[in-house]
Structure 1
């Protein structure tokens, strides 16, 4: 439904995610959820791009099923492009083929992959799911929040972090430098080892390009 180079050239952040096959149950729920969350991705300046080894007409027809799954009004426009890679050129180049999942002719299907691409057009995150397990797009949004925050601030995000939670001060930053960098203050958790490596500070403002 779109040329991937054309789409990627005009965005700051991108999520390219492949799915095994159109008109399949797990994939329909995944793209349905991604469609529901597309405004949340847009607010983060992120472009969604789906991909599979199905053809253009299949994508077009399947997108209507996805919108119906979402209980959308008939004729509603699908919110992001699905790349038709029926020649398997992109999935081969990007390593997105699943050797365990094959079509009826024995050809491998596209894997359930997620690539997050930064504004520098470099890969920031890749996740591979088994064909039987649907992705969690809320988690992908959470990861993007972390990636965008840490791209412009010298902080790290702890386990289960969400926007608004405190962040961590990396060990590479000295206590003296931390005072300057984090005027909101730094809290150090006391540990039996006596080492002061668990340091927290309120989340800085996220800066997006």
Structure 2
């Protein structure tokens, strides 16, 4: 059985650090830190095995994982639902047949729903045949320090956009070491915004590629773009 994830019960918010926890998975017994292995990670929950939208999602997740989209970002992925390990393993054969991809990431078996309860993943609108709540489509981007960097929650009827999730990971990684924020629809390689706390003088030193200040009616000079320093 998984150990407690949080000392309090107020729910998960950005910046919270989750305590390392153990679980059974398709890769055997693991802890979160063992799987992440010193890097960041993304925890995805799905409502149920052998369901159509979940099958398309985990197939796409396998494709991106096999292409190295997560490893090149030093991020590990892991799935979760309230099914047992044997159900997951049988379902993986369907995912492979549908997507043509081998599934190399583990899927957590949270049949007791202990982890789902602690992370606030359960939906009162979607129940299994026994009348128990299923997990929603939650996404937790977790830093190497096990701090929550991003949370997303999708209803069971809507499949996730993994291109968007990768975009967010790129943004989080860039802004974690630069005094930058990423604007609307930003993708890696495009211009980013210098945060207001950095003066123009400091920006000149920090960003050798230079920056431009957008001329706005207020004249405040707060909208400053600089080339992506990671590109």
* Partners of 2:196 and 2:87 in 1: CA distance: 51
Question: 2:99 maps to which residue?
Answer: 70
Shift of 1:9: 5.2
Deviations 1:165-187 (A, max 9, x none): 01100111111111111111110
Question: 1:166 maps to which residue?
Answer: 191
Question: 1:103 maps to which residue?
Answer: 128
Shift of 1:135: 0.1
What's the TM-score, normalizing by structure 2?
0.84
Deviations 1:174-202 (A, max 9, x none): 11111111111110111111120110001
Within 5 Å, which residues of 2 pair with 1:1-209? 1-2=26-27, 3-5=30-32, 7-8=34-35, 10-38=37-65, 39-72=68-101, 77-205=102-230
Conserved? CA contact 1:11–1:45, under 8 Å: no
Unaligned runs of 5+ in 1: none
* Structure 1 residues 37 and 186: alpha-carbon distance in aligned structure 2, compared to 1, 3 A threshold: same
Deviations 1:40-89 (A, max 9, x none): 011111100000001100100101111111124xxxx4220000011111
RMSD: 1.3
Unaligned runs of 5+ in 2: 1-25
* Partners of 2:196 and 2:228 in 1: CA distance: 17
* Partners of 2:62 and 2:106 in 1: CA distance: 10
What's the TM-score, normalizing by structure 1?
0.93
Conserved? CA contact 2:36–2:76, under 8 Å: no
* Partners of 1:99 and 1:126 in 2: CA distance: 19
Shift of 1:205: 2.1
* Partners of 2:31 and 2:157 in 1: CA distance: 26
Shift of 1:94: 1.1
* Partners of 1:146 and 1:87 in 2: CA distance: 35
